[in-house]
């Protein structure tokens, strides 16, 4: 089964970095999971698609048509912000790019269920077990994939 990495975040200022994360993940053979909507979610999916990758969008509403045009597989949840748990649970690791309160909730959910998190700086200043920081998109992807590999070795 392909490695799935959830890319979370928001903010128009983070789009360029999110697109690069998506592109790099796809180039490494990963499926990119996002919340399926705008800004960081669109940018990560666009980067993945432009690199020939596959994308999944976990949507808050009841309509798959709400997904951005870069999503291959849309999942309409109808549960609003509660879909944040499904976004991070669908990834083997999580990369946070920018973001506000919803991103913080996703980081929390990810750690509660044991998913490793890489925060692309500048981002939330959260430290602790299972949370790493990266200075560049390439470093974020490398760290996330290393964390997935370490988790797979422990199984």
How confident is the prediction for the chain on average, in pLDDT?
Answer: 95
| List of residues 6+ apart from 56 with CB closer than 8 A | 4, 31, 32, 33, 34, 36, 71, 72, 73, 74, 75, 90
pLDDT over 80 at 60, yes or no: yes
153 band by pLDDT with thresholds 50, 70 and 90 = low
Q: What average pLDDT does the segment 21-41 reach?
A: 97
Calculate what percentage of the chain has a pLDDT beyond 70: 96
Give the strand order in the sheet containing 131-134: 73-76, 55-59, 31-34, 4-10, 93-98, 117-120, 131-134
Q: What average pLDDT does the segment 7-31 reach?
A: 97
* Domain segments of the chain as ranges: 4-133
Q: Tell me how far apart the alpha carbons of residues 89 and 58 are, in angstroms, rounded to a whole number.
A: 11
Q: Tell me how far apart the alpha carbons of residues 124 and 74 are, in angstroms, rounded to a whole number.
A: 28
4-133 maps to CATH 3.40.50.450: yes
- Give the pLDDT of residue 131: 97
């Amino acid at each position: 089964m392909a490695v799935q990495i959830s890319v979370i975040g928001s903010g128009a200022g983070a789009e360029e970095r999110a697109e690069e994360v998506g592109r790099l993940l796809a180039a490494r053979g990963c499926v990119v999971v996002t919340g399926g909507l705008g800004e960081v979610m669109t940018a990560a999916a666009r980067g993945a698609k432009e690199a020939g990758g596959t994308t999944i969008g976990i949507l808050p509403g009841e309509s798959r048509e709400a997904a951005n045009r870069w999503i291959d597989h849309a999942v309409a949840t109808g549960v609003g912000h509660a879909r944040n748990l499904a976004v991070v649970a669908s990834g083997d690791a999580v990369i946070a790019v920018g973001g506000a309160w919803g991103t913080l909730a996703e980081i929390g959910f990810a750690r509660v269920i044991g998913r490793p998190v890489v925060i692309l700086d500048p981002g939330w200043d959260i430290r602790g077990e299972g949370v790493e920081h990266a200075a560049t998109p390439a470093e974020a992807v490398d760290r996330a994939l290393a964390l997935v590999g370490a988790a797979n070795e422990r199984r």
